[in-house]
Amino acid sequence: PKTLVVSDSAEWDRAEDLLNADLRVAKVLGFDCEWVSRTDYHGPVALLQLATVTGLCVLVRLCKLEEIPEGLKKILADKSILKTGVDPLNDGKKITQDYDIPVKGSVDLRNVLRRFVRGINPNIGLKKMAKDYLDVDMDKSIFLRCSNWEADQLTPEQVNYGATDALVGVDIFMAIVSRRLFRSGIVGNLWSDDDLFKKIQAMCQGLVDVKFSA
């Protein structure tokens, strides 16, 4: 997995090209945000994590950018680029609130689970989904979660923590959706199916920008 940290517009430009190349493969992003939340200070979204289906992760330090790049605004506002995670709608709303930019295309993994996995309690967290669908053990350290996301430099541990949530998000989404696509014969070969993302979008109809309720 290749992870890029973006703190200025030059770093964004490089990341944007790679992101857009991957979005031509599949219009799906793992999506997550981090911010400082203490009793005395509730910061704006400090870090935006975007992960593509190929395993590229772009960590955008919104708190360090002088302005939000137009290319990023475009990706965030594009409802046809699915942004998946646990409660991505809420993360999007906070970005809108903090930076005055629209975010569209959120798909809550719990809504995806409820639709495609029979007999499951969908109200589970990313850690349990990662175990069940990817057989991955996630280390959800509260120390890292509550660390200083506005620090001058992120530590390697912060970078890894932020990237993992987004990467795992997109992998869980693909695992659930692909299982369904193959089981029902909707798709025979992911690589040669030119309509794959039309089919995935059709599967997610009615789930985009919809809040999960237990």
Binding site for a second copy (CB under 8 A): 1, 25-26, 53-55, 132-136, 167, 170-172, 174-175, 178-179, 182-183, 185, 187-192
Which region among 55-63, 105-113, 158-166, 188-196 touches Na ion (by CB under 5 A)? Answer: 158-166
Task: Using the Cα atoms of residue 96, residue 99, residue 100 and residue 101 in order, give the sign of their dihedral.
Answer: negative
Q: How far is the CB of 88 from a second copy (least distance, A)?
A: 18
* Residue 108 interacts with Na ion (CB under 5 A): yes or no: no
Q: How far is the CB of 69 from Na ion (least distance, A)?
A: 22
Residues 165-184 that bind Na ion (CB under 5 A): 165
Please identify, using beta-carbon distances, which residue of 22 and 34 lies nearer to Na ion: 34
Q: How far is the CB of 47 from a second copy (least distance, A)?
A: 21
Q: Write the CA distances from 41 to 22, 36, 44, integer angstroms.
A: 37, 7, 10
What's phi and psi for 183, nearest 5 deg?
Answer: -65, -40
Task: Using the Cα atoms of residue 54, residue 153, residue 92 and residue 101 in order, give the sign of their dihedral.
Answer: negative
Distance CA 28, CA 26 (A): 6
24 touches, from Na ion, a second copy, none (C-beta below 5 to 8 Å by class):
none
2 touches, from a second copy, Na ion, none (C-beta below 5 to 8 Å by class):
none
208 touches, from Na ion, a second copy, none (C-beta below 5 to 8 Å by class):
none
Q: Are 61 and 154 in contact (CB under 8 A)?
A: yes
Residue written as tokens 């506002």?
77
Q: How far is the CB of 4 from a second copy (least distance, A)?
A: 15
* Single residue of 16, 32, 108, 171 touching Na ion by CB under 5 A: 32
Q: How far is the CB of 86 from Na ion (least distance, A)?
A: 6
Q: Count of residues binding Na ion (CB under 5 A)?
A: 2
Q: How far is CA 12 from the centre of its chain?
A: 17
Binding site for Na ion (CB under 5 A): 32, 165
